[in-house]
Amino acid sequence: MSLNNNGAETVDAEVWPEGSLEVLSQVEVDQLRSSGEGGLYPLLRRCLLAVVNSGSTTDDTREVLESYKNFDVGFLQKDRGLKLSLTGAPGHAFVDGKMIRGIRENLFAVLRDIVFTRNEIIGDARFDLETGEGTTNAVFHIVRNARLLTLPADVDLVVCWGGHAISRIEYDYTKLVGYELGLRGYNVCTGCGPGAMKGPMKGATIGHAKQRIENGRYIGITEPGIIAAESPNPIVNSLVVMPDMEKRLEAFVRVGHGIVVFPGGVGTAEEVLYLLGVMLHPDNAQMPMPMVLTGPASSEPYFRQIDGFVAASLGPEAQKRYEIIIDDPRAVAKAAQAGLERVREFRQEHGDAYYFNWRLKIDREFQKPFTATHESMAALNINEDLDTHELAANLRRVFSGIVSGNVREDTAAAIDRHGPFEINGSGRIMSLLDNLLAAFVEQRRMKIASADYVPCYRIK
């Protein structure tokens, strides 16, 4: 172990796969090594650094990349398969010089998914990513390749959303809810990072242990744009890296059976708006998808602000799609239990699969990848004359752009050069949005790394 130029402990190591990567061809290995056009090395380096940086207390991607700028990855093709050579890896990924097993598993999950997506999905005629059907088919194949779809399947997967930058009181509350879910035999799926993504998993492990459940599933679903700011926590035993945010969100709602939302910030608001927009589509009117918003008593203002924003922008029909339960972990678990039973009955009645929600209608506007630029943010149409689910889609893009400005190094660099994003729309909705975002800033729900958050956006 040694110290790098920033004073951080680093380790050089060679790592064998942990049962999650098939043997690669020479062409695939060359792609991994190449930094040129079609090469995967720059993407893999930042994603692999995020994994071995698990436990970091910063959510500033540029700070992470700068702190470990000498981090390097080599790919060694051996008779036994692919071997990774790591130079300058964060020392906290190792115990007595040996990499923590959960981190090692997640390293090779990243390799598996990025290689599979590049070689089996992108450019393959079976997956027309310009269509809804083709996109959903791609999502299915990625999660199936990651072994998320197991048989026999049951209705038992609770997706937990929430922020990585939450208070200790809020974090402890997420563990209590996870514990109650684990006692009832439910598995947990989150965005894989710290905070409200780690807490429910940690709580569920205790609930599972008490019930002698040895095969508990702790699923983390991420994407390359945010993985460095939300490094996967080692509790995750099934990590999936989706190609972009939209496919990540679709994976959540296709494989999950119910949603629990903890306190967070703009990213959590984005997830809530995504699900509401999907469920407000007329084709989904009868489909159950239970969603509970919950936190300790100190978090109630956060949820009341979101509820007020939803009521004023999307209307009472959107409010009917969730319930708010404050400071009662057991009531949350029982509400999830009742909701999942409705899901089970619905799928039995319609002959639907338990492991993947094919019937759910996701409008194409929720599937198109959105890249946050000054031009794309300014061009968003946010007005009352839109259908409700279309307005939700564009509001979701607003929050997605702000998340990108907060955590993606390339977006942050563009904001440094050209100033904050400008967001335009009807006066009433812009006022609502401005008030909500100002509350997030005041409550320090934007970033961990900055005591004095400078907004990456300007409301017009």
Query: Phi and psi for 70 in degrees, rounded to 5?
Result: -90, 0
Q: Quote the CA–CA distance of 150 and 104 in Å, as a whole number.
A: 22
Whether a cis peptide bond, with omega within 30° of 0, leads into 90 is no
pLDDT value, residue 97: 85
Structure tokens at 61: 């991607």
* CATH number of the structural domain spanning residue 58: 3.30.1850.10
Q: Domain span at residue 45? A: 2-122
Residue 138 included in any domain: no
Tell me which residue has tokens 């306190």: 263
Domain shared by 181 and 297, yes or no: yes
pLDDT value, residue 268: 94
Domain shared by 340 and 387, yes or no: no
Q: Give the chain's residues under pLDDT 70.
A: 1-8, 18-25, 35-38, 55-62, 65, 78-81, 447-451
Helix (H/G/I), strand (E/B), else coil: 459: strand
Residue 142 included in any domain: no
Domain shared by 337 and 378, yes or no: no
Q: Quote the CA–CA distance of 174 and 74 in Å, as a whole number.
A: 38
Structure tokens at 279: 């469920």
Residue 127 included in any domain: no
pLDDT digits (tens, 9 = 90+) for 4-28: 555 568 888 888 776 555 566 677 7
Is residue 449 within 8 Å of 409, Cβ to Cβ? no
Residue 139 included in any domain: no
Domain shared by 390 and 450, yes or no: yes
Domain shared by 97 and 237, yes or no: no
Q: How many domains does the chain have?
A: 3
Q: Which of 102, 122, 142 is the last residue of a domain?
A: 122
Tell me which residue has tokens 């090469």: 39
* CATH number of the structural domain spanning residue 219: 3.40.50.450
Domain shared by 113 and 173, yes or no: no
Domain shared by 221 and 274, yes or no: yes
Residue 131 included in any domain: no
Domain shared by 283 and 341, yes or no: yes
Domain shared by 186 and 318, yes or no: yes
> Please, what is the Cα angle at 190 between 90 and 266, to 5 degrees?
90
Domain shared by 67 and 184, yes or no: no
**Among 353, 369, 373, CA closest to 254:** 353
Helix axes 427-442, 388-407, angle to 10 degrees: 40
Query: Phi and psi for 287 in degrees, rounded to 5?
Result: -85, 130
Q: Quote the CA–CA distance of 205 and 179 in Å, as a whole number.
A: 7
How many CB atoms are located within 10 Å of the residue 28 CB?
Answer: 20
pTM as predicted: 0.90
Contacts of 40 (CB under 8 A, 6+ apart): 31, 32, 34, 114, 115, 118
Domain shared by 371 and 441, yes or no: yes
> Please, what is the Cα angle at 400 between 395 and 404, to 5 degrees?
150
Q: Which of 104, 122, 140 is the last residue of a domain?
A: 122
End-to-end CA distance of the chain: give it in Å, rounded: 51
Residue 145 included in any domain: no
Residue 80 included in any domain: yes
| CB neighbour burial string for 292-321, b if at least 16 within 10 angstroms, e if fewer | bbbbbeebeebbebbbebbeebbeeebeeb
Domain shared by 27 and 108, yes or no: yes
Q: Which of 296, 320, 350 is the last residue of a domain?
A: 350
Q: Quote the CA–CA distance of 392 and 389 in Å, as a whole number.
A: 5
Residue 132 included in any domain: no
Q: Quote the CA–CA distance of 144 and 146 in Å, as a whole number.
A: 5
pLDDT digits (tens, 9 = 90+) for 180-239: 999 999 999 999 988 999 999 999 999 999 999 999 999 999 998 888 778 888 899 999
